[in-house]
Amino acid sequence: MEPLGPDGDFGISGLGMRIAGMHGPTNRTETLEFVTRHLNQRSPWAAAALNSDIRRLAASPLSDADLETLWLSTTSRRFDPENYSGGIRGFLAEITDISSRFLRPGDVPAFERQTSQFDPEGIRQRILEEISSIREPLLARCDPLARDAIIPLLQRAVNELGSDLGMRLFLRALKTSFARMGLARLARFEMLGEQLGYSDLVVADGTLNTFLGPND
C-alpha cells in the first residue's frame, strides 16, 4: 500500500502548510480560490483527504472558537468572521463543497479506511505524551491568540478525531510556531509517522525547528 502523503503533508494540515507560505491567501475569498487552484493541481486522493478532515472537524464537538484556534495554528492565518455570518463552520462547509467537486465515487471512504487502520490506543497515548512534554517550547513561540487553548485543543483532537488527524494538527502547530526540539524528539516523531502510514515527507519536511543538544 502506498504511504499516506507521498508528496508531503496532506488534508487540512497539507493545505495549511501551503496557505502559511509568504504568498498565501489572507482572507476568505482568496482562501477559497486558493483551495480550488490547489485541488485542481492535485489528485482526487488529495481532495478526499481534505474533504474528510474538514467534515470531521466541522462535525466535531469543538466550539467555533476552538476551530478558529486550530485554523490559526494550522495556517498561521487568523480567521476573521467580520462581515461573514456563516462563521468558521460555514467557511469550512465552503471548503468541503469545493473539495467535493474533485472527488470520485468511493474516494473518501477509501481514504478513511486507510487512516483508520493506524489508530490503536497505544499510538494515541504516545502522541498525547509528546504534546505534554513539548508544552513549554510550543507555548513560548505560538501565536498569543492560541496560547491559552492550543495544548488542550491538540489533546482533544487526538482523543476525539483520532491519531492521524490529531498528529498532523500537532505537527502543524509545531511548524507554524517554530517550536524548538531536539533530534531525539524528531526521531520519535518519524517513528510515529511510520506507524501511522506516512511517507517520510509528512513529518520531516525541513520546517521543524530541530537543534543539536541534549535528548528531549
Would you report the helix, strand and coil content of the chain in percent, each value rounded to 5? Answer: 65, 5, 30
Residue 109, pLDDT > 60, answer: yes
DSSP state of 102: T
The answer to whether residues 126 and 187 belong to one domain is: yes
Residue 104, pLDDT > 70, answer: yes
Q: Over the stretch 69-85, which tens digit does the pLDDT of each residue have?
A: 999 999 998 876 555 67
CA atoms within 13 A on the CB side of 168: 29
Under a CB-based contact definition with an 8 Å cutoff, are residues 164 and 141 in contact? no
The answer to whether residues 106 and 128 belong to one domain is: no
The answer to whether residues 97 and 181 belong to one domain is: no
Q: Over the stretch 142-195, which tens digit does the pLDDT of each residue have?
A: 999 999 999 999 999 999 999 999 999 999 999 999 999 999 999 999 999 999
- Domain ends where: 57, 88, 111? 111
Angle between helices 44-59 and 28-40 (to 10 degrees): 140
DSSP state of 209: E
The answer to whether residues 51 and 126 belong to one domain is: no
- Domain ends where: 63, 89, 111? 111
Percentage, residues of the chain above pLDDT 90: 81
- Domain ends where: 60, 85, 111? 111
Average pLDDT estimate for 123-144: 97
**Element spanning 211, H or E:** strand 209-211
Give me the DSSP letters along 6-50. Answer: TTS--HHHHHHHHHTSTT---SHHHHHHHHHHHHHTS-HHHHHHH
Residue 210 lies in a domain: no
Query: What pLDDT, on the 0 to 100 scale, is given for residue 201?
Result: 94
The answer to whether residues 24 and 93 belong to one domain is: yes
The answer to whether residues 80 and 171 belong to one domain is: no
Task: Kindly provide the b/e burial profile for residues 148-158, where b requires at least 16 CB atoms within 10 angstroms of the residue's own CB.
Answer: ebbbebbbbbb
Q: How many domains does the chain have?
A: 2
Record the pTM.
0.95
Query: What pLDDT, on the 0 to 100 scale, is given for residue 77?
Result: 86
Residue 184 lies in a domain: yes
Closest CA to 51 of 10, 7, 8, 3: 10
| Residue that wins the pLDDT comparison between 215 and 7 | 7
Q: Over the stretch 31-52, which tens digit does the pLDDT of each residue have?
A: 999 999 999 999 999 999 999 9
The answer to whether residues 28 and 80 belong to one domain is: yes
Residue 61, pLDDT > 80, answer: yes
Residue 98 lies in a domain: yes
> Which structural domain range is residue 71 located in?
11-111
Query: What pLDDT, on the 0 to 100 scale, is given for residue 43?
Result: 92
The answer to whether residues 157 and 79 belong to one domain is: no
φ, ψ at 181 (rounded to 5°): -150, 150
The answer to whether residues 19 and 99 belong to one domain is: yes
